[in-house]
Every structure is written in structure tokens, then in C-alpha cells.
Amino acid sequence: MIYDILEKKKNGLELTSDEIKYVVDNYTNNSIPDYQMSALLMAICINGMTDNEIFSLTKHMTDSGNKMDLSMFEKTVDKHSTGGVGDKTTLIVGPIVACLGCKVAKMSGRALGYTGGTVDKLESIDGFKVKLSQEDFISQINNINIALISQTENIAPADKKIYALRDVTATVESIPLIASSIMSKKIASGAKNLVIDVKVGSGAFMKNKESATLLADKMVKIGNNSGINTVAVLTNMDIPLGNNIGNALEVQEALKVLNNEGPNDLKEVCIVLAAIMNAITNSISYNESVKQVMHVLETGQAYNKFLELVKLQGGNIESIYKEPLYKYEVMADNEGYIASMNAESIGKVSGSLGAGRMTKEDEIDYTAGIVLRRKTGDYVNKGDVLATLYSSKINNFEEISKKFSESIGFSSEKPDYKLILGVVGKI
């Protein structure tokens, strides 16, 4: 049967739900070998999938493992980001909407490559438990409206196996496969409302608005088709989000925003995401939701909610202020406006300092990272400090500093850019 399915997809024909179920089930239980699954993935990359095929693939990957039962809660909401540099929004929007009566049952991933992982940021807090029993997970959500944990092994195992194969067969870049991969995990996670932050630009998987919009549209359709109220927000990742890149550094910056301080770009994106999450979960207008979000920021409620979350999960928040062993200031060699920042390159610099991992076995230096002192739109003179590099592993910064400098572009004119590039779905 697998040969017939391969032949069919090679010729650009639509697979039935039963055929897709056959592939997912039999690849997951090792009855279909990697070479045949690789051929199918390549055919999908080349010929695409119809919406019905994407819905079926998502459903059968979701059904391949356990599903989180959150039916005891009325107002559940989840948030997913497609990954970016300096993206610590989960640490901020989760506590905000938890203050507004939303139930945030959040399972997050680790970093691999140059994009940060929420679980690694949480583990930069000494003692923070990223694994909870299901009973404790549900109990904590019931008590304080939020729990942040690592993704369990038995959520969408078919997706995990298929993704590992995509990663080594040049079949990652397929919008149907990306959409079904993300959404199978989100559907299995059990929330009834979902906001997806689709990053666009140099530091994102989607490099342009057109492809990001197409991906957002597919995920919103999958979510709504599965009974999940889904909205996607397109946000700019041509520039790192906020000023701090690196695990403990990003937690520090998240605390500032939760205290209604911190950099304006990070605050703006978080306010939009949190307001949409609150609006769709509590069925209120976006404008009213923004007012509620600002209130919990201005009164310190969101800050206190994060501290409550950390304490309940065993963390010591003071531990994020450990001093790294080494630091280095990158000076500007040029004069003018910063016109561009290659976020991907900057993310890789952070990783080479020890803040990320290139393989799953790499150990992270939680103190490592970058604090940006100037960003796109700022005017700099020669000799001004562009960024401070931190590490407890690396003490020779010359080559790394050079790579950072190469990621910055200058202009005589001040550039114009937007942070929020579009919204897909109904608010």
C-alpha cells in the first residue's frame, strides 16, 4: 500500500484520510522504513498538500499519542511562537493573561540552533521544576491559572519521529508539514483558544511576509477546523526582540516588562499578544482587552504572578542575577544610523558564547548572552558601545565580536520599520 501512496503523491494527487492514517501509524510503529517515508516527504515538499490532506495529517499525528485533558477548565488559552532571537514573550504574556482569569496550561520546548527555548530560560532559574506530574500541573493551573512545563514525550510522538527525518532529508521547508507539525502538538495540549506568533524576517524561519501569511492562514484553518479558536499574529524578526539575548538575561528582561518597564519593542509585542489572548478567551473587544492588560502591568499584578509561578515550581528568582565570569564590549567602527541587524547572525553569536546548543547534548551556560546597547533606528558614533557580550565559558571574544559587528548594517538615513506586520483570524 505504501508504494501506491508514494506513486499517488508523486503525481500530485490528493491522499485520503485513511491513506494518511496508514502512513502515520505505520511509520510511527516502524513498519514503514525511513527511505519510503523520506520519499513521501519529498513528494509533499514538491507537490504540496490540499487543506483536507493537511487537516488529516494533523489529526492523525495528534491521535498518535496522549492528549492533555483540560475539560475541567472553561477559559483555557495557549500561545505558540515559531521561534526567534530574544523572544521571551511566553514568560510575559502567560502571567499577564493568568491575572485576567485565563487558564494557561503551557508546554514549551528547548533551544536547538540559534533560537531560544522557553524551557532553557526557565531552567536558568535555580531549582525551577520544568517537569510536573499531571496532577500537580492541573492543581497549579486551578490555583494560580498558570503552569509552565516542558513538553511531555507522549504528545504527538508521530510528529517527533517525522520531524527528526525531515531535519536530515531537506524536507523541513514545507508549509503543510510545518503547519501540521506545530498544530498537532497544540491540539494535543488541550487548550480551546490559541494565539500563534509567526515570526517574519532574518531571525525567523519565514523570511518574508508572503510565506509567513500563508503559514499563518494554514494554522488558523487547522485550529478552527479542530474546534480551537485560533488567531495568528505576524511579528517582525528582522531585529532581535528586546535588548537581552540569552537565558538568564532574558528572564531579567521579562521581569522588567512585567513591572511595566523594559524595552518598548518587547512591551509592544507582548501587549498585542496578551490582549488578543485575553480578548478571544474572555470574549471581549480588543480595545477593552488592551486596557485590562495595561492595568495588570501598571499595578504590578503580572510581576507578582510570575514570582508566584516561580515559587510554586521551586525556583529561586534571585539566581538569575549571577554574574558571568567574562564580558566584552563591542564598539562601533562606523558612524550613522543602524539600518539593519541580522537577527539570525546575532542569535548564532549568542549561541557561540554558550547561550544555545548546536546538538541536544550541549550544556548551556545560563549566564551567557548579549545585551544590545543600540538597535535598528539608533544613531551611533564611532567608538560607541553596540553591545556587551557575556560568557562564563568563553574569554577570547575577538572573533565573536567581529561576527557581531558584521551583522550590523549602517545608513545615513533613519530606517522605518513595523513590529506588528498583520493578524490572521478573528479577534
The whole-number mean pLDDT for each consecutive block of 10 residues of the chain, a chain of 427 residues, reads: 94 96 96 96 96 97 93 95 90 98 89 71 96 93 95 86 88 91 94 96 88 96 96 95 96 97 96 98 98 98 98 96 96 95 93 80 89 97 97 93 96 93 95
Query: Are 258 and 303 spatial neighbours (Cβ–Cβ below 8 Å)?
Result: yes
pLDDT number for residue 357: 73
**DSSP assignment of 232-300:** EEEEE-SS-SSSEESHHHHHHHHHHHHTT-S-HHHHHHHHHHHHHHHHHHHT--HHHHHHHHHHHHHTT
User: How many CB atoms within 10 Å of residue 225?
Assistant: 17
The domain segmentation of the chain, as residue ranges, is 2-48, 76-181+190-318, 322-411
Chain segment 373-382, per-residue pLDDT in tens: 999 999 999 9
pLDDT number for residue 117: 82
Is residue 185 annotated as a catalytic residue, yes or no? yes
Sort residue 305 into left (φ over 0), alpha (ψ -120 to 50) or beta.
Answer: alpha
Residue bearing cell 495529517? 57
**DSSP assignment of 106-132:** EEE---BBTB--HHHHHHTSBT-----
Chain segment 92-137, per-residue pLDDT in tens: 999 999 999 999 999 887 765 556 689 999 999 999 999 999 899 9
User: Annotated catalytic residue: which of 166, 192, 221, 305?
Assistant: 166
Which CATH number, 3.40.50.800, 3.90.1170.30, 1.10.150.130, 3.10.129.10, labels domain 322-411? 3.90.1170.30
Is residue 166 annotated as a catalytic residue, yes or no? yes
pTM as predicted: 0.93
The angle, 0 to 180 degrees and rounded to 10, between the axes of the packed helices 175-188 and 51-62 is 40
User: Annotated catalytic residue: which of 108, 180, 181, 352?
Assistant: 181
User: Annotated catalytic residue: which of 87, 120, 159, 197?
Assistant: 159
Which CATH number, 3.40.1030.10, 3.90.280.10, 3.40.190.10, 3.90.550.10, labels domain 76-181+190-318? 3.40.1030.10
Q: Phi then psi for 96, rounded to 5 degrees?
A: -60, -55
- Domains 76-181+190-318 and 322-411 equal at CATH topology level: no
Is residue 63 annotated as a catalytic residue, yes or no? no
Chain segment 320-345, per-residue pLDDT in tens: 999 999 999 999 999 999 999 999 99
**DSSP assignment of 147-184:** EEEEPPTTBSHHHHHHHHHHHHTT----HHHHHHHHHH
- 2-48: CATH topology: 1.20.970
